[in-house]
Structures are given as C-alpha cells and as structure tokens.
Structure 1
C-alpha cells in the first residue's frame, strides 16, 4: 500500500491564523496604582467618575453609628467590537454587593432576561419582511435605576474628598455590583418604554435587543449570526489555538461517567470554560448536546472530562466560522423536531430530551436537557421529549402571534418514534408512569415511517416525504380542524378519538365531533370496502380517505 508520506504528500502546517483585523495586545491593569500610571486609564477613570456625578449617584454624608458601608472595586476592560477591533478603554466602579445584608440593604433582586429564542425569532421576521435592524446601547445603564433602600459605600480611592475624609457615600442610584441593581434598571427601562406606547409581551417581557459578542453580518440571502471572534478568544485563553482539528464535538467510543478513576482537575477553570461554551451555544446548536453533557460534571471534573472538553474546543477550532444563516427563502412555517437518547447517562440511566424549532429554514430555538425521571422504555423517553417540544412550539406560536406574525398554517411537530406518536393519540392505560396524554392539547400531525409506503406529493402539503437513514418519512396533517386531543375533546371542530397502525394499514377507529366513537366499525357518509371504514370519501386500495381518496398507498386528507 502506498501512503501519502511515501509520495511526499504532507498536510501543510498552519503558520498564521487568519483574522479580518489584527488584534493588538493590550494589558489590562489589575489595580488602581497600575491604572493611574497610564494616561489612557486615568482618562477612563475620570470619565466614569464624571458620569457617576452627573447622574447624582451618591451624596457624601457623615458615617452613621449603625452604618455598614459596602466596599468598592475598580474594574478595567478593553472594549472591542464584534469583529475584534478595539473600541475604547473602559473602567467601571462597582460596589461589593456581597457585603450587603438581606432585608436591610436589599429586598427584591429578580430581573427578567430576554430569551435567546425571542431574539432569533425577531431577527428572522425582520429578514423575511425586509425590515431594518437597529441596535441601541445605554451608557451607564444601571445608574438610571432609583434605589428605594438606604445603602452606604466607601469613598473610592484616588477620588476621595480631602475635606471630608471620614464621610461615606449614601447611594441614590443603583451602582453596578449591588444585588438590586439589575431589577432597578429593568423597572426604569420598562416604565420609560411603556410611556412611549409600548406594551409588555405576555410570552416574553423583555423584547429589547442587545447581542453582546454576536456579529450580525448582512448577506444576499439575509443575515448571518456568528461568534467567531468569541471562539478565537476562547481558544487563546485555553491555549488551544494550535490544537489539532476534529470533526465531531464528542467522541462516540467513550461514555462519560461521574467517577472514572482518573485524576481530578481544577473545577474553577472547568466551570469557567463550560460557562463560556454555554454562551457560545446561543448561535451554535451543533454543540448544545455536548455542552449539556459536560455541564453534568462541573462539581467534580476529572482528567477524562477535561479531555472531552478539549475535544469540543478542537471541534470549535475547525468550525470557527460556523453560525446561523437567517434566510429570506422558505415557507412561513414553524417546524419542531423532537428526539431522545434513551438511558444514555451511564451513571443514573436517565435519558436526554432534545428539540430544535425552525421558523422557515432558520433555527430559532433548541434545547438538550437531561430528563428528571428514569424512562422504562424508549417510547417513554421519546414521549417525554415530545412533551417538552410541544410546550416550546406552543410558546413560540403565541410569541409570533403577539409580534403580529400569526402563522397561516399549523406548526409541525415531528417525532421519529412511532410508539410515542401512537401513544399521544390513543387513550390507552399503561402501567408505566408516562406523562398523561392530556398534555397534548394542540394541533398535531404524524411523522411515520411505514415499512412499505410510497412517497406522496401534494400541492396542499398534506402529504410530504422526507428521507432519513434510508427510510421514507411521511408527514400527514389533518386539515379543517382546530385541534387534536390525545385523549378526548368536545365540539364539532375537534378530533375525538385515536388512530391505530397495523401491518395492513390503518385499522383502528376515528370518531368525529358529537357523533362519537364508531367502535372501530361502521362508516360515516362513506362506503365500506374490505371491512374498513371511510369518512366522507371512498376506499381505494384497502385504505380509508376522508374528504378524498387514497393515492399510492398514502392518505391525502381534503384532496384527491
């Protein structure tokens, strides 16, 4: 056998990493004394203090007898743009909020955060409608929030009032670092936006957009979301810039365990890297499962877990320019794919649920999470994953409706497990503790892969064939009804009943509205052929049609 090395064929060595702009090396000071010795940092500190005084952040008062002033800290950062170019020298005076006392120095601290799916959905809608996207940044945002509690802070070093050296700062505004600062800022921003005529979304109360570190590049097809600069910085911090590339995020030949006999590693470094990878997954659904798996070992990581993390970083090095393409093309359809990994966790034999939702051809929401309970069968694991996917699909549908973009067609929920699909439509009492079929109260269709079934095409889209793994998937969506309930329902516009699957086709019963169950026998507005029923149509090829006829062994509902 002749190898490439024998023919003097070698892989070229990478001498330089390609970058759109050179990244200057600027050392960030770690103390006030280091910062004061450099003119650019002194100017940045003066700018920060001027902004604090302009907003009336504090008053100098004599220190009360029962005063518990919180400390402070100067933070120095070099702000860069999404493409890596240096923007400005930034300093921030922050309070040491961990010195605050509960119920005395602060009360409520909760502040809502926008869901990543909301941002991606809005961007996708903007591209489809040709809207202009604008981004706004609020300088010293937290200083707009008014404090309702009495909080004292020490005077910052380097800017003390020499005439009042023993005085303390009584805070009027929510300076950065206070536990209640995010909540006060959100309250101030919300009130200002409401005064302009806006209203809160019921699906997501934070619809203002700010994407830090995510580069949005306009293309001929739409927009491209990327975090390649973030990946490059992460590889540099972990000394993985020169590592060998790999083509998959995780190894398929090794199962990660909590206890594997290898030496432990520094948990703080491991947690910091996993946190960075979780933020990166906002635009990288391909690493969602790997990040979820590695996150399960943050409390006590070992050398094996660190090796798996380095493999994920090597995969990111190969796919550094990957991201999300928001395209103008495609049908205005919301599609969600559901899947599960049964008993994939070797430690406790729990399963993993996963889904990904597409608006047109753009992924806008995805998740990969460990199931809380142990599934006794593959069908049960898929059923639980299907319930999570259904919940997210319904939430996205409501969000799009509130944004003034109602879907003209019902969302599609696709599952590749026939048992889970059958279970969601049949009122069968099972001994296994699976979720109750009442959890599925939405309009749903089937994704089937029968052993012998021709690939159907229809202008109305009721029968669609998709190829995966050599098999034919068939999408069958009921048309002309408002909802399908897995167990039971009422009303003339709802499905009430079940559909079964047998070796000779559909063999179980379908009930309609107030007419009720047909007990698997009998026909309604149709004729019997071969012992099976038809509803509003005739039998062709031994299968049933509803409002139409069968063609090629597949059902087309509402058509011929």
Structure 2
C-alpha cells in the first residue's frame, strides 16, 4: 500500500438533498467508489471503504460533512467528482476543522483539540480572565443532591453541562467531572454550579490541550478499565470507566454510572470489565475493515485481582452469581483469545482519570502517559 496519505474535507450542498438527509447520502455515496472493492463498514454504517490493489480510500460521513482519506490522489479525485455529480459538493481542502474539532498536523502526527470551542465557552461565561485551576474537581469533595443549598438557574446549568459533554470528544481529563455534574441537571444547586465553575477554571489552564495520534504509533490495541465501588454518595452505585489505546493513542473512552448497586468491589470491577470487553470487540471489528487483523489478544489492564481471577477461572463460586451473565461473556472472549486480562499497578492505571478525583500531580502523570499535547502552551509541538 502506498505511504503518502491525504485527508480532505467535503461539504454537501443541502439544496441538492431531499427527504431523509442521512439516508440519501448513505445510499448514494457508494456510487463515488468503483463497484469493485467498495464496502460499507458493518461496524460503522457511516464509514465507506475502497481497498483494491494497494489503493485505499475511506469516506466518513456525518450528516452533510464528509471526510475523505486515502493513499491515491487519482482515486480521491475520482471519488470527489462522482460525489459532486450526485450532491454538488464543496471541497474544503485538507482537513483542519471538523465538527468543532481542530486537526493540526505536526512532526509527531495529528493533534485533535477543541481550543476554539473551549474559548467560546469561557467567553460566554465571562471566564476569560478567571483564576485558573490545575485540576477539574476537588479531590476530597463528594457532591450529593445538596437539597438544603440555594437553587441556581437550571437553564444556564444545563446549557453549560451540555457544552462540556461535547468537550469530552478530545478531553478525557474532564470526562469524570462532567459525568458527575450531569447527574444534577434536574435540580441544580449552588455547590453544583460552583463545581462547574471549577471545571471552567481548569479549562482556562489547558485551553489548547488535545489528543495526539502519533505518526509512528503502530496498531497495537490495549485497554484499561476501572470502577469506583459505591462511588455515588446517594445511590451507592459504582461507576464504570474505560479507555482504549491504539498505538499508544486514546481512541475511545467512557465513564458511566452502573445500573445496579454492586455488593463488592470485585462485582463493580467485573461489570466494568464486561463493558470494556464490549468496546474492545467493536474496535477489533472496525479495525478489520482497515485490514488490521490482530492475531494476539487485546490486553485488558485491571488492577483488581479478584476480577481478573473470575475472568480466568471457569468455575463459578459465590462471588460471581450476581454477575453471572457478565462472567460468561468475558470468559468466552478470554477463551477465544480476543481479550487477555492483565495486572497493573494502581499508580499506572490510566482509567483512574475516568473514575476518581485526582490531584494535580497524578492527573498530569496520567495525561502524559496518554500523550496529550497542548500546542498553544509554552513548549508545545
């Protein structure tokens, strides 16, 4: 396969679309590829791939925005011309800004950030000149419903939390904080708003921070999972957190409160492990569309010894009856050698970003392990 890769951005003229916008593009875009070799990804139906005789072109669609990436300029031009006859497209040049995400090419690779989006949030809240913070949420402060505290403007609170939710696309460091704050959108109180302001003060410190997709990272997939047992102070539900790395770069992460209360830390960790395995399978499935077939199992790093023991032990016992379905699911994937549970030191667990309140030192240590970059800071790439 050729090594010179090109990434282009296209915009579809809405005046040429009729009816269901998404479905019309999805049905017609394969006509932009030759009939031999074009594929609609089964893992992501908005992704189309052409791969034939060393020529590779992929098209990713979001409503009327399209990203084209490929290693053959002739095939890319042919695809754009065919799409132009269908939709009257506008060629926006090399990919630089897509859905609020800035894409910057550096000597190390591509850096994805949301600097402008972050600055807009700070400006709208008059936080341009606020006192910065080095971490997004108080380390020892656990928010609850705060029913005795004064109420705040619920519309303003919801708008802020909603905007922060989209910021998670390139900022795993604020994912946990935003997940906690989103629990109180129904009846926000002053301590909740103060916590949102703390996140904004942290963003002031790290406006240009983003994710690096390294040029020489390779295609080794790894995953980290964690949970905070009984972490919610008023429902006592635990929180699942996981992050997947491809070639050392974070490509998928999530934090979510578990649907039931776990009776032990092993149960909480195992439920987190099962969610992570589901995401691993989907990413492995997606990578196959790019002819990246991993013969080795994906290492899943979890520091809970009991959870790893349950995953590798085919004999049920008293601890597993409450998570029996998850046990069967994870063990099946371990036995098929798609996933390999691995131990890891607590200080090296990257998924702690998604389940715990971290101080400045540990937060920066884990972000450095993820390879985050701040192009607009002193010493940026």
**TM-score (norm: length of structure 1):** 0.50
How far 1:220 sits from its partner (Å)?
Answer: 0.3
The aligned residue for residue 365 of structure 1 is: 252
CA distance in structure 1 between the aligned counterparts of 2:289 and 2:347, rounded to whole angstroms: 38
The aligned residue for residue 145 of structure 2 is: 258
Match of 2:10 among 136, 139, 146: 136
**CA 403–216 in structure 1, closer or farther in 2 if over 3 Å, else same:** same
**Is residue 342 of structure 2 the alignment partner of residue 447 of structure 1?**
yes
Secondary structure, aligned partner of 2:184: coil
CA distance in structure 2 between the aligned counterparts of 1:447 and 1:385, rounded to whole angstroms: 14
CA distance in structure 2 between the aligned counterparts of 1:433 and 1:212, rounded to whole angstroms: 42
List aligned pairs for 1:166-185, cutoff 5 A: 184-185=20-21
Kept in 1, the 8 Å contact 2:221–2:246? The answer is: yes
Kept in 1, the 8 Å contact 2:243–2:254? The answer is: yes
CA distance in structure 2 between the aligned counterparts of 1:206 and 1:224, rounded to whole angstroms: 23
**Is residue 41 of structure 2 the alignment partner of residue 201 of structure 1?**
yes
CA distance in structure 1 between the aligned counterparts of 2:177 and 2:308, rounded to whole angstroms: 27
The aligned residue for residue 316 of structure 2 is: 428
For structure 2, list consecutive stretches of 5 or more residues without a partner in the other structure. Answer: 48-59, 66-97, 350-381
Match of 1:469 among 341, 347, 362: 347
Higher relative helix content: 2
CA RMSD of aligned residues (A): 2.1
The aligned residue for residue 328 of structure 2 is: 438
**CA 145–138 in structure 1, closer or farther in 2 if over 3 Å, else same:** closer
Q: Which has the larger radius of gyration?
A: 1
How far 1:130 sits from its partner (Å)?
Answer: 4.9
**Is residue 52 of structure 2 the alignment partner of residue 216 of structure 1?**
no
After superposition, what is the alpha-carbon deviation per residue over 1:438-477, rounded to whole angstroms, capped at 9, x for unaligned?
111222324236xxxxxxxxxxxxxxxxx65399xxxxxx
Q: Tell which deviates more after alignment, 414-423 or 323-332.
A: 323-332
List aligned pairs for 1:324-403, cutoff 5 A: 324-403=211-290
Kept in 1, the 8 Å contact 2:298–2:340? The answer is: no
How far 1:134 sits from its partner (Å)?
Answer: 0.8
The total of aligned residue pairs comes to 290
The aligned residue for residue 313 of structure 1 is: 200
Kept in 1, the 8 Å contact 2:150–2:189? The answer is: yes
After superposition, what is the alpha-carbon deviation per residue over 1:521-543, rounded to whole angstroms, capped at 9, x for unaligned?
xxxxxxxxxxxxxxxxxxxxxxx
The aligned residue for residue 116 of structure 2 is: 229
CA distance in structure 2 between the aligned counterparts of 1:435 and 1:257, rounded to whole angstroms: 31
For structure 1, list consecutive stretches of 5 or more residues without a partner in the other structure. Answer: 1-125, 148-183, 450-466, 472-560
**TM-score (norm: length of structure 2):** 0.72
Higher relative strand content: 2
